[in-house]
Amino acid sequence: MIHSKLPNTGTTIFSIMTQLANEHKAINLSQGFPEFQAFPELGRLVKQYIDAGFNQYAPMHGVKELREQICSKIQKHYKKAYNPDTEIVITSGATQALYTAITAFIHKGDEVIIFEPAYDSYVPVIELNGGIPVFIKLNAPNFSVNWTEVRAAITEKTKMIIVNNPHNPTGVVFSKEDLSILSKIVSNTDIIIISDEVYEHITFDGIQHISASSIPELAERTIVITSFGKTFHTTGWKVGYCVAPEELIKEIKKVHQYLVFSVNTPVQYALAEFLKDESSFLGLSTFYEEKRNYFAKLIGETRFKLIQNQGTFFQLVDISTITDEDDYSFAIRMTKEYGVASIPLSVFYSQKEKMSLIRFCFAKHNETLERGVERLIKL
Ligand code: PMP
Ligand code: GLN
């Protein structure tokens, strides 16, 4: 008899929908991965480092050149100086960084505030560590944070608040005011913040991403996590990192060293070199804004109703103009019968209520989006 540590957890929706899309030869606008080739120069650099023999274990917290390059990028763009020797760990994607950071600090009975809809890898990790997720719903229709509710949710057991900015799945980007209120709420507490910023380089309509690292009162208690998967079209390479003050990184390293020890060596060297050319990430917002606009124009020909977004490569749409079904059944049926896969919003909530929003990933070639929408028009 197996005594499950995660009795309420099933297979992640991203595996379920991608598998269903493959089975039904559907156009896969569900799981968030870019359809584009990795930047060719980056691929060339990886090969160069493999051929040059950089194939053994990297240092536990990451290759020095990459740690230094990331810290100077953060210093330049977010005006925060992290020590590349003591305040950064290179991780196997953001997923491992999240697991490691939550595990390093959450004890049995600790409360962790998270915002719903919530990316699906936070809750299981909190629960594996005996923590208690405390959910606060973002306010529909614009998914803003009710900070009064956040303040009221804090107890003496609150150990951590996890924010995701820009936000998956809604595409909401925190304003300076949001972050300033958050910093006031946590001042004079020992609350640690995790700021999941994997979409830091994808914001639209002139909206700037404000990293938690750029606000000194937040940076002193925040673990900023991000991933090169989103930035360089390389979600399959699984390289990311976390930066935080030294006392937090010290604890994170204790877990990291026994979870993976270290991360892919030639890719780290290649990223260190590739990051010197800023155009690769500075052009990303424009690239995806054009995609977002093109997809929105196409969706305009369907009966779906668009929900405004400010960043990420996800687009929420309202299905209530088309069906009375709940979002989950509809997303499954749409994949099977119409050949387009999406993600139902309800999976990002702890209480499974009937919802009428689904998420599309538009990080795809225009032809793919066109073929997808051609099918959606029939709905
Ligand atoms: N956080 C968010 C909000 C995400 O959307 C994702 C998925 N890309 C991750 C973390 C995980 O990132 P990675 O693929 O680098 O593990
Ligand atoms: N972050 C991606 C998404 O939201 C999926 C990552 C994964 O498949 N684990 O779709």
pLDDT tens-digit map of 226-265: 999 999 999 999 999 999 999 999 999 999 999 999 999 9
CA R_g for the chain:
20
Quick check: 337 pLDDT over 90?
Answer: yes
How far is residue 186 from each of residues 154, 158, 192, 193, measured CA to CA in Å?
Answer: 9, 10, 9, 9
- Nearest ligand to the CA of 95 is 1
Which protein residue has the closest C-alpha to ligand 1 atom 3? 168
Looking at residue 377, its pLDDT comes to: 97
Query: What is the mean predicted confidence (pLDDT) over 288-304?
Result: 98
Q: Say yes or no to pLDDT of 53 above 90.
A: yes
**Average pLDDT score, the chain:** 97
User: pLDDT for 144-168, tens place per residue?
Assistant: 999 999 999 999 999 999 999 999 9
Tokens of 3: 């005594």
For residue 371, the Cα-to-chain-centroid distance in whole angstroms is 27
Please choose, from the candidates 296, 239, 333, the residue with its C-alpha nearest in 3D space to the C-alpha of residue 38: 239
CA distance 273 to 146: 42
- The reported pLDDT for the residue numbered 352 is 80
Residue 307 confidence (pLDDT): 96
Looking at the CA of 239, name the nearest ligand.
1
Query: For residue 343, which ligand has an atom nearest its CA?
Result: 2
For residue 8, is pLDDT > 90?
A: no
Indicate if ligand 2 lies below 6 Å from the C-beta of 28: no
pLDDT at site 353: 83
Q: What pLDDT is recorded for position 141?
A: 84
* Residue of 41, 58, 74 lying closest to 268 (CA atoms): 58
H or E element at residue 226: strand 222-227
| Structure confidence by residue, pLDDT tens digits, 69-92 | 999 999 999 999 999 999 999 999
Average pLDDT over residues 326-335: 97
Answer yes or no: are the C-beta atoms of 315 and 299 closer than 8 Å.
yes
Atom of ligand 1 nearest to the CA of 239: 15
Alpha-carbon dihedral sign for residues 62, 68, 74, 77? negative
Closest CA to 173 of 149, 206, 150: 206
Q: State the pLDDT at residue 12.
A: 93
- The predicted model gives 101-119 an average pLDDT of 98
For 346-355, the pLDDT digits (tens) are 999 999 888 9
pLDDT level of residue 140 (50, 70, 90 thresholds):
confident
- Average pLDDT of the residues in 317-337: 97
In 3D, which of 218, 231, 240, 233 has the Cα closest to residue 100? 240
pLDDT class of 277 with cuts at 50, 70, 90: very high
Q: Are 261 and 230 in contact (CB under 8 A)?
A: no
> pLDDT tens digit string along 163-213?
999 999 999 999 999 999 999 999 999 999 999 999 999 999 999 999 999
Pocket test of ligand 2: the residue of 235, 312, 343, 360 to mutate, having most ligand atoms within 8 Å of its CB, is 235
